[in-house]
Structure 1
Amino acid sequence: MKILILIVSYNGEKTICSVLESCLTDERLSDITTLVIDNASTDKTIAAIQSVNLNPLEIIQMPSNVGVAIAYNIGLKKAKELGAKWLFLLDQDSVCLHCCLNHLVEEANMLEKKGEQVGAICASVRSWFFQDSIHLPYNWTGHSLVTANLCSSSEIVIPIDSSLSSGTLYNVEALNAVGGFREDYFIDFIDHECHLRLRKADWGIWWHKHAILYHRLGIIQKMTNEGLWIEHKPYRYYYMARNMFEGLRRLGGKTAAARFIKQDIFGHIQRLWRYGKSPWKSSYFMIRGVIDGFLGRFGKH
Structure 2
Amino acid sequence: MAEQDHGGRTAGVVLVYQPPEGVIENVDLLLAQVPWVFVVNNSPSHSAEIIDGLRARPRVTVLDQDGNVGVAAGFNAGMRAALTDGFDFVWIFDQDSTVTEGMLPALLRAQSRTDLRAGIVGPALRAAETGNVYDADRGQGSAPIDALISSGALFSRELLEEIGLHDEGLFIDYVDHDISLRASRAGYTNLKVYDTLLDHRFGDSVPASFFGRRVYLSNYSPLRQYYMSRNRVIVARRFGMGRWFRDDVRYGIKAWIKVIFCEKDRPTKIRAFFRGLRDGFRYRDI
Q: Does the 8 A contact of 2:72 with 2:168 survive in 1?
A: yes
Could you list the runs of 5+ residues in structure 2 that have no partner in the other structure?
A: 1-5
Match of 2:153 in 1: 168
Match of 2:13 in 1: 6
- The number of residues matched between the two structures is 273
1:72 maps to amino acid: F
Match of 1:234 in 2: 222
Change (3 A) 1:128 1:93: same
Change (3 A) 1:76 1:176: farther
Matches within 5 A, 1:149-228: 153=139, 155-222=140-207, 225=213
Could you list the runs of 5+ residues in structure 1 that have no partner in the other structure?
A: 137-149
Q: Distance in 2 between matches of 1:267 and 1:74?
A: 33
Q: Distance in 2 between matches of 1:261 and 1:16?
A: 28
Match of 2:50 in 1: 48
Q: Does the 8 A contact of 2:38 with 2:82 survive in 1?
A: no
> Percent sequence identity over matched residues?
23
RMSD: 2.9
Match of 1:145 in 2: none
Q: Does the 8 A contact of 2:204 with 2:217 survive in 1?
A: no
Change (3 A) 1:35 1:117: same
Change (3 A) 1:260 1:118: closer
Q: Distance in 1 between matches of 2:42 and 2:146?
A: 29
**Deviation readout 1:237-281 (Å, 9 max, x if unpaired):** 11111111111122117x99x989997777754442123233222
Q: For residue 54 of structure 1, report the CA deviation from its aligned partner.
A: 4.1
Q: Distance in 2 between matches of 1:49 and 1:210?
A: 32
* SS of match in other structure, 1:198: helix
Q: For residue 232 of structure 1, report the CA deviation from its aligned partner.
A: 1.6
Q: Distance in 1 between matches of 2:249 and 2:81?
A: 41
Change (3 A) 1:6 1:116: same
Match of 1:279 in 2: 266
Q: For residue 58 of structure 1, report the CA deviation from its aligned partner.
A: 0.4
2:188 maps to amino acid: W
Change (3 A) 1:135 1:63: farther
Match of 2:76 in 1: 73
Q: Is 1:296–2:246 an aligned residue pair? A: no
1:283 maps to amino acid: I
Q: Does the 8 A contact of 1:19 with 1:93 survive in 2?
A: no
Query: Which runs of structure 1 show a deviation greater than 6 angstroms over 4 or more consecutive aligned residues?
Result: 258-267
